[in-house]
Structure 1
Amino acid sequence: MSRNGGVAARIVLAVVVVMAAVSCGSTGASKPASSPSVAALPESGTSTVEIGGRPVTVHVPESYDPAKAAAPLVVLLHGYSSFAKEQESYFKLTPESDRRGFVYVYPDGTVDDRGDRFWNATDACCDFFDAQPDDSRYLSELIATIQREYRIDRVYLIGHSNGGFMAFRMACDHADQVTAVASLNGATWNDATKCRPSEPVSVLAVHGDADETIAFGGGSIDGSTYPSAATTVAQWREHDGCTGDGREAAAVDLVGGAPAETSVRAWDCTGNATVQAWTIDGGTHVPPLGPGFAPAVTDFLLAQRD
């Protein structure tokens, strides 16, 4: 590829290798999301539909009953060169949807000139061919479409790598829609002035300290800089009006085995928001996630309320 070949190749290789182990990013601006017919979306179970010209998989737990109560919405965003269903096979959030009763949506990004799906999140990641799709607008309209068709009371986004960058971007641009975001090995804008959330958004930033692709200490992609894990957290502490030095919490087990390998630091912020930094000791870009990952991140997300 003509741009960022080395980084992109490493991302592709990491996803292919680790996905194999644990289971055995169209060009142009995005079109406004069109609302599908009610019949096209599932009342329960899983269906893949087209929204705004892109495939979107929607999972509705059997417990969902709009006559009784509203449900949370969780949106999963895949990494560069991955795709929605592959990301779900890695994060395994469907059982959590069934157990906890949230509507679960995982869309696909657009396809670049290399044939890889991506999200146009920040200047660093990952619109490598300058197609400039307005993914912030697309995802906002996708959320609005789901809210029209289901009774939704709060919205959460979670993403890996490029999807983590995009989750942070959505918190920056659409804080009025988004209650909380979680990112695994992503980063926010390097220029903090490009992120101006209209209200506090709770943030969970999970990063491996041995990430070989989106470096824990920050770096650049094709000359565009992304911040370190610590700077990403510091920016969100500033955006959310967090105070103090934070507090250490009990370590969590995200990759399996004992003892728990992921340290936790948390800050209390304005508007009942929280910012948390989870650091995976020895964690690579695509760590081999264990059975504790999905429950832990959904515990965080569902605990956050507007």
Structure 2
Amino acid sequence: MTAAAVVMVALACGSADTPSAAVPAGSTSVVKIGGRQVTVHVPGSYDPARPAPLVVGLHGHTSSGTDLEAYLRLTPESDRRGFVYAYPDGSIDERGDRFWNATDACCAFFSPAPDDSRYLSELISTLESSYRIDRGRVYLIGHSNGGFMAFRMACDHAGQITAIVSLNGASWNDPARCRPSEPVSVLAIHSSADETVAFDGGVIDGDAYPSAATTVAQWRDYDRCAGAGRDGPALDLVTDLPAAETSVRAYVAGCARGSTVQAWTINGGTHAPRLGPAFAPAVTNFLLSQAKPAR
């Protein structure tokens, strides 16, 4: 955390309370939203008279919000680029593991399964009522189970979400279970040697999830993109692989309402690749380049 002191602030979803009084600009605090712990970082440049983008980070199965931030290191980007940054904790299952109930494949392995789609939608609404958020620039980024959850949110709450980044996650295996009400821009990053969420698709606890290519194809269809896409310059995002290990393919032509779908493949990468200093700026650039009309 980059702030001085960490404060616990009780905040119910949908309330009119304003944690900005307890979470001043230039600080990081832990708040309670809907009974769950959420860490919120407000950049020093935050001005309540000027709408700021919002980025929500979603951790993987058995992980936590603070673990995700230690991995992605987006707080410096929040300060540099001026977005409010929140990283919540998922529910805890019978084994004591945190998780998100994203799709049938991942990762609610016990009953009853929480309605995390609703919870995160209400969390976003709470943050929007607590800070001056630009509702046309609301973004999600998730790793593994958090990547599945980012796709689920884009399916269920496209009116709230501008763009998502998924690192080694997947969407629904059945494309009919995703009915986005409007386009959402997608950056799907997948490691070719992922040993947990297989690049070519697979099965978790008896339920299938799609391959990286199928996930991208689904979102090209949802966003009505046309054409074969274009390759971009390779990126150097991972420290333990040869330089420029990540290939880039972007789909822009014909995509509805200015949306885009991009597929980044970390060639030789594993499920939790060792991210280098270029990763956070690269994914932040993608997210902040996407915007929807003011709401």
Q: TM-score under structure 2 normalisation? A: 0.91
Contact 1:34–1:51 (8 Å) recurs in 2: no
252, 257, 266: which one pairs with 1:271? 257
**Deviation digits for residues 266-297 of structure 1, max 9, x if unmatched?**
00111100000000010100001111110000
- In structure 2, how many angstroms separate the alpha carbons of the residues matched to 1:38 and 1:273? 32
Partner of 1:292: 278
1:1-16 pair list within 5 angstroms: none
Partner of 1:48: 30
Partner of 2:6: none
Q: What stretches of structure 2 of length at least 5 have no aligned partner?
A: 1-11
Q: Give how far 1:106 is off.
A: 0.3
Percent identity between matched residues is 69
Q: Give how far 1:66 is off.
A: 1.8
Q: Which has the higher helix share?
A: 1
- In structure 2, how many angstroms separate the alpha carbons of the residues matched to 1:241 and 1:98? 34
111, 117, 138: which one pairs with 1:155? 138
- In structure 2, how many angstroms separate the alpha carbons of the residues matched to 1:95 and 1:35? 29
CA spacing shift, 1:294–1:130, aligned 2, 3 Å: same
Contact 1:35–1:51 (8 Å) recurs in 2: no
RMSD over aligned Cα, in angstroms?
A: 1.2
Contact 2:58–2:149 (8 Å) recurs in 1: yes
Q: Verify: 1:227 aligned to 2:210, yes or no.
A: yes
1:139-218 pair list within 5 angstroms: 139-153=120-134, 154-218=137-201
- In structure 2, how many angstroms separate the alpha carbons of the residues matched to 1:43 and 1:146? 14
Which region of structure 1 is more displaced relative to structure 2, 32-41 or 234-243?
32-41
One-letter amino acid matched to 1:124: A
Query: Secondary structure of 1:220's match?
Result: strand
Partner of 1:127: 108
231, 239, 245: which one pairs with 2:222? 239
- In structure 1, how many angstroms separate the alpha carbons of the residues matched to 2:197 and 2:280? 21
1:22-33 pair list within 5 angstroms: 33=13
How many residue pairs are counted as aligned between the two chains? 274
Partner of 1:259: 243
Q: TM-score under structure 1 normalisation? A: 0.88
Q: Give how far 1:35 is off.
A: 2.7
Contact 2:16–2:129 (8 Å) recurs in 1: no
- In structure 2, how many angstroms separate the alpha carbons of the residues matched to 1:90 and 1:54? 21
Q: Give how far 1:151 is off.
A: 1.0
Q: Which 4+ runs in 1 deviate beyond 6 A?
A: none
Q: Give how far 1:43 is off.
A: 2.3
